[in-house]
Amino acid sequence: MLDEFDRRILGLLQTDADTAVLAIADAVGLSPSACSRRIVRLRQEGYISRRVALLDRKRMNLPTTVFVIVKTTRHATDWLEDFRAAVASIPEIVEVHRLTGNFDYILKLVLPNVEHYDLIYKDLVRQVELSDVSAYISMETMKDETVIPTSYTDRVSS
């Protein structure tokens, strides 16, 4: 179970994973060695799953976000494996979620422009059978956060 020091360390690392251990230790009120040991433990226990660099999408010429809602009439294991492989093979698809309700999946795409969506659509439907595909262009990103709350760790469910 995490204590308040662990939660504060995780909060700081989420904001900037390159923050020096000395600065983190100072911010949370621990010695650098104690802080370093905690960070190693948090990695080993899986609280820190990976470190990444977040790229500026506009500078990478990927300013357009399209959300795609997918319905399928197929739910067999082989279809699901094909679908997983198809979405994994298309780098512009950055998120895929299986849903409850009227739709089966939602996909988040990052694209250089709206017209590029047609190429992705054709690639996806070439690889896997879908019964209904609807695209929604994001007009404005109102919140885009990578930091998650650290206060729920004492209520972890399996």
Return the DSSP state at 114: G
Residues 49 and 70 placed together within one structural domain of the fold: no
- Name the residue among 30, 43, 97 with its Cα closest to residue 70: 97
88 and 129 both lie in a single domain: yes
Helix (H) or strand (E) run with residue 32 in it: helix 32-44
Range(s) of the domain holding residue 80: 64-137
pLDDT of res. 157: 53
Q: Which residues of the chain have pLDDT under 50?
A: 158
Supply the pTM of this predicted model.
0.88
Number of domains in the chain: 2
Looking at the fold, whether 123 and 85 belong to one and the same domain comes out as yes
Regarding whether 72 and 131 lie in a shared domain, the answer is: yes
Note the pLDDT of residue 107. Answer: 98
CATH code at position 77: 3.30.70.920
pLDDT at 153: 79
pLDDT at 1: 85
Q: Quickly count helices (H) and strands (E) in the chain.
A: 5, 4
- Domain assignment present for 14: yes
Q: Is residue 158 part of a domain?
A: no
Asked if 147 contacts 13 with a C-beta cutoff of 8 angstroms, the reply is no
The tokens describing 67, both together, are: 């959300």
Which CATH number characterizes residue 21's domain?
Answer: 1.10.10.10
Residue 85 shares a structural domain with residue 113: yes
Q: In terms of C-beta distances under 8 Å and separation of at least 24 residues, what long-range contacts does 75-81 make, across chains too?
A: 79/128, 79/129
* Residue 28 maps to a domain: yes
Say if residue 124 is exposed, middle or buried (CB neighbours under 10 Å; 0-12, 13-18, 19+): buried
> Does a structural domain hold residue 44?
yes
One domain for residues 91 and 121: yes
Q: What is the pLDDT of residue 95?
A: 98
Give the per-residue pLDDT at 47: 96
